[in-house]
Amino acid sequence: MAEKKTLGVVLASILSVVSIAASAAPRSQSIEVAPHVSLHILEAGKASAQPTLVLIPGWRLTANIWSRQIQSFSGDRRVIAIDPRSQGDSTKTDEGDTPEQRARDYHVLLNSVHAGKIVLVGWSQGVQDVAAYIDQFGTDGIVAIVLVDSTISKGAANVPNVLPFAVQQLRLLPLLSDSPRDYTEGMMRAIHLNPLSDSDLDRLVNEALKTPTATAEAMLIADLFGRDRSVAIPKFTVPTLVIASARSTELAQQVDLAKQLPNARISVVENAGHALFVDQPDRFERVVREFLDHPSA
């Protein structure tokens, strides 16, 4: 009888763990944001007193890059991670692949899913998207902003001031055109300080290659050398956290950005590449949680 009772307790525990894991799995869905254009999102957690965390990935990457953060933050709040237009499983378009249009997509999306009060998190290209969003829609409904390892582009007029960086990016474009997979494998290795397993590398590369090459090139030019989005800086009226990798080539610019933003602080993460929330997830999440707990500190 005791053995049966023990077995029953073990089975109940196993079923409980399985149930929790299943309920924690992000929900995948597509939301129409314009005629014939839908954005794929991963959503986890439930609406609560805590603002919804909205995660925007970088160039050609997908909501899956935030898998660890979706799991970590969804325990006490709703979390929405987005595949931007022409990335991942979202609709591929020949037009509108700019931060400005992506910002309009997000605005429609967040209203459609009744996101409520939000914390807007953008990484890399996502920083341009956040700046474009704030420029067009202000901070209504946004309680805090997190900018991850990128500065806000000052557009084509600033190219003379960042000439080595601009030359480096433009020199690599022929490799993207001629050998998209080789370029993308090199990119994935470069943005992660910790070595990737073969399976993780293949997954990231295959997800990035869902963006058509010509579209990817147009996106990169629009991100880096398009509009001057620094005009949006005075509109960042809510608490803002800048998180930078200590290895970032834009570290000085990010420090300067944090000084320019009306209500900002900066945290520098050691021993991490550009994808610092993948290389140092515990550190990243701790910094973000401290910020969310005390945004005006």
Q: Which residue range(s) make up the domain with 214?
A: 28-293
Name the CA dihedral angle for 204, 206, 208, 214, rounded to a multiple of 10 degrees: 160
Query: What's residue 229's pLDDT?
Result: 97
Q: Provide the pLDDT for residue 168.
A: 84
DSSP 24: H
**CATH number of domain containing 59:** 3.40.50.1820
Whether 284 is in a domain gets the answer yes
> Whose structure tokens read 């603002």?
51
Which pLDDT score, from 0 to 100, does residue 11 have? 43
What is the amino acid identity at position 194? N
- Residue 114 is predicted with a pLDDT of 97
Domain count for the chain, please give it.
1
pLDDT of residue 40: 98
Q: Is residue 115 part of a domain?
A: yes
Q: Is residue 134 in some structural domain?
A: yes
CB distance 105 to 129 below 8 Å: no
Residues of the chain with confidence (pLDDT) below 70:
1-24, 297
| 5 found inside a domain | no
Let me know if residue 20 belongs to a domain: no
| Helix%, strand%, coil% for the chain, nearest 5 | 50, 15, 30
Has residue 206 been placed in a domain?
A: yes
pLDDT of residue 130: 98
Return the pLDDT at 16.
Answer: 40
The pLDDT of residue 19: 38
Single out the residue of 155, 118, 109 nearest to residue 138, CA to CA.
118
Closest CA relative to residue 64, chosen from 278, 219, 285? 278
pTM of the model: 0.90
Domain assignment present for residue 199? The answer is: yes
Beta-strand pair 27-34/37-44: antiparallel
pLDDT number for residue 24: 61
| Structural domain includes residue 86 | yes
